[in-house]
Amino acid sequence: MKKFFTKKEYEIMNVLWDQERPLSSADILERTEGLPQSTIQVGLRKLLKEKLIEVKNVTIHTKVATREFSPTLSREEYIGNLLGKGNSFRFAAQFIQKNEDKEELDRLEKMIQEKKEESLDGCTEV
């Protein structure tokens, strides 16, 4: 499995993870900001090749086939794989950079401070 998604692949995966039904590239386009259709299609091809998504439905309308995609990997599995490979620092850094919720960041900051204090409390002078 791929260690990390590119920023664009991650954006596509987030859209797929957030939905309870398969989505077409047009559906994904509607739910993303600033990603051109061609970029979405390239991302979908890469994710398909790596078996991280699958084609769930194909519909034909006036000689045009539309494929709908679903993830084969859950968000939780992806995060678990990242953390399980010793990438917890990179994951945490990415989470912090993308997070705009001040309350969540404050909670994280408090947790980090508590962990530092625990580590210092466990040290004794000789």
Per residue in 76-104, pLDDT (tens digit) is 888 877 777 666 677 777 778 777 778 88
Farthest CA pair distance, the chain: 81
Paired with 68 in beta bridges are: 57
Q: Is the pLDDT of residue 1 over 90?
A: no
In CATH, what number does 1-73 get? 1.10.10.10
Per residue in 20-65, pLDDT (tens digit) is 899 999 999 999 988 999 999 999 999 999 999 999 999 888 888 8
Contact 64, 20 (CB under 8 A): no
Q: Can you tell me the distance from the alpha carbon of 70 to that of 16, in angstroms, rounded to the nearest whole number?
A: 6
Chain-wide mean pLDDT for the chain?
86
Domain ranges of the chain: 1-73, 87-121
Q: Can you tell me the distance from the alpha carbon of 28 to that of 68, in angstroms, rounded to the nearest whole number?
A: 10
